[in-house]
């Protein structure tokens, strides 16, 4: 019988026996730990939320800044451009009507139609007068109060004009002195008036106009300080008389609504203002959505003309709500 030596274990292996290879030592059993309580993950901000919020705020504040800045610039400066354009169109219309003997003579004239041309050489004024004295009517020029005779006709005629905004046609009315000439051209011909007095609220009223004569009263606002006309403190009246006036047809309105009286606004423009503000809000939302897909510069290049046009229309509507003489 032979024995063999297992080289891996250095043990003697008898014939018919298997050699045992040493196994890995077993680790001692460790006590089981209680499973840890897993906390739900804290909510995280979705990617891009901060950028979207910044874009919304930026677009909103930019839109508000454009609207406010444009409203101020338009009210003080650019409104005169639109008023001058409107005066050119009204002058052509009145000239053609006078040439064709179709100019209005009263007593009822559609609101907004031209009724006369007033010229005051001493202050360089030449303005077409339209029918109506509501704040919206005076955006294009001086307005004739509908419950008075037309300028140049027998009796008293009252014309309102703005002092500061939309060209401020009556801004220099207080510079007139007694004896200054006021020329009026209308459908019945031309009349020359002479200034009698410049008065404020509380001053004595002038004597009634002579029989067969014509009186023209120009009305505007007055304030103190450099921008006093934007916050007027009183109403100014300039009375001028002509010895003889043109015949005035009967049947004119006995009174005018409150919106057509001096220093009054027109609250009927509120629905239109709501529409303009809704359109501005829609454009703002459109700008915010567009900035998510296209570059900021491209979006504002496209949107700015639309915003300016809406701001212009909105400012015109706002002016209808403000006093008609500023």
pLDDT in the model for residue 257 = 94
| Three-state secondary structure call for residue 59 | helix
Q: With 80 as the cut, is the pLDDT of residue 1 above it?
A: no
Mean pLDDT throughout 272-287?
91
Q: What is the mean pLDDT of the chain?
A: 86
Q: What is the pLDDT of residues 140-186, one digit of tens each?
A: 999 999 999 999 999 999 999 999 899 999 999 999 999 999 999 99
Query: Which single residue is written with the structure tokens 């005779």?
Result: 149
The CATH architecture assigned to 71-267 reads Beta Barrel (2.40)
Given a cut of 80, whether residue 230 has pLDDT beyond it is no
User: Helix 270-291 crosses helix 296-321 at what angle (to 10 degrees)?
Assistant: 170
- For 2-36, write each residue's pLDDT tens digit: 555 555 555 555 555 555 555 555 566 555 666 66
Strand partners, 190: 185
* DSSP structure class, residue 53: H
Alpha-carbon distance of 69 to 276, in angstroms, equals 17
- The region of weakest confidence among 32-36, 150-154, 195-199, 243-247 is 32-36
Residue 135 has a pLDDT of 96
Instruction: Compare 42 and 59 and report the one with higher pLDDT.
Output: 59
Neighbours of 159 (CB within 10 A): 27
Q: Is the pLDDT of residue 296 over 90?
A: no
Helix (H) or strand (E) run with residue 13 in it = strand 11-13
With a pLDDT cut of 90, the percent of the chain lying above it is 59
Residue 40 CB: number of other CB atoms within 10 A? 5
Residue 68 — very low, low, confident or very high, per pLDDT cuts 50/70/90?
confident
Q: Does the pLDDT at position 104 exceed 80? A: yes
- In terms of phi and psi (left: phi > 0; alpha: psi -120 to 50; beta: otherwise), the region of 155 is left
Whether the predicted pLDDT of 219 surpasses 90:
yes
Of 155 and 73, more confident? 155
Query: Terminal CA-to-CA distance of the chain, rounded, Å?
Result: 134
Phi and psi, residue 286, nearest 5°:
-65, -40
Structure-token pair, residue 280 = 């501005």
| Predicted structure pTM score | 0.79
The predicted pLDDT at position 20 comes to 53
> Residue 15's Cα: distance from chain center in Å?
113
pLDDT at 229: 61
């Amino acid at each position: 019988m032979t024995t063999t030596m297992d080289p891996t274990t250095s043990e003697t292996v008898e014939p018919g026996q298997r050699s045992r290879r040493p196994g890995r030592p077993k680790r001692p059993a460790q006590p089981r730990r209680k499973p840890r309580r897993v906390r739900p993950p804290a909510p995280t901000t979705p990617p891009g939320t901060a950028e979207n919020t910044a874009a919304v705020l930026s677009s909103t504040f930019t839109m508000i800044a454009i609207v406010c800045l444009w409203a101020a610039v338009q009210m003080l400066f650019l409104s005169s451009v639109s008023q001058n354009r409107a005066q050119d169109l009204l002058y052509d219309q009145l000239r053609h009507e006078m040439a064709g003997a179709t100019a209005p003579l009263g007593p009822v004239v559609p609101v907004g139609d031209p009724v006369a041309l007033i010229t005051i050489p001493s202050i360089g004024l030449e303005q077409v007068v339209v029918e109506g004295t509501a704040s919206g009517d005076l955006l294009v020029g001086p307005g004739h109060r509908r419950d008075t005779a037309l300028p140049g006709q027998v009796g008293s005629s009252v014309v309102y004009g703005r002092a500061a905004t939309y060209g401020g046609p009556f801004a220099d009315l207080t510079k007139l002195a007694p004896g200054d000439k006021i020329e009026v051209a209308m459908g019945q011909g031309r009349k020359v008036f002479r200034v009698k007095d410049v008065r404020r609220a509380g001053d004595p009223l002038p004597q009634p106009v002579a029989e067969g004569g014509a009186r023209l009263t120009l009305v505007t606002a007055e304030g103190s300080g450099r921008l006093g006309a934007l916050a007027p403190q009183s109403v100014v009246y300039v009375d001028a008389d002509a010895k003889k006036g043109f015949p005035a047809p009967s049947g004119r309105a006995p009174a005018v609504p409150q919106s057509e009286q001096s220093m009054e606004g027109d609250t009927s423009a509120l629905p239109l203002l709501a529409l303009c503000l809704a359109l501005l809000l829609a454009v703002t939302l459109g700008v915010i959505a567009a900035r998510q897909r296209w570059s900021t510069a491209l979006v504002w290049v496209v949107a700015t003309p639309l915003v300016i046009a809406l701001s212009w229309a909105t400012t015109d509507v706002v002016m209808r709500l403000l006093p008609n003489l500023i």
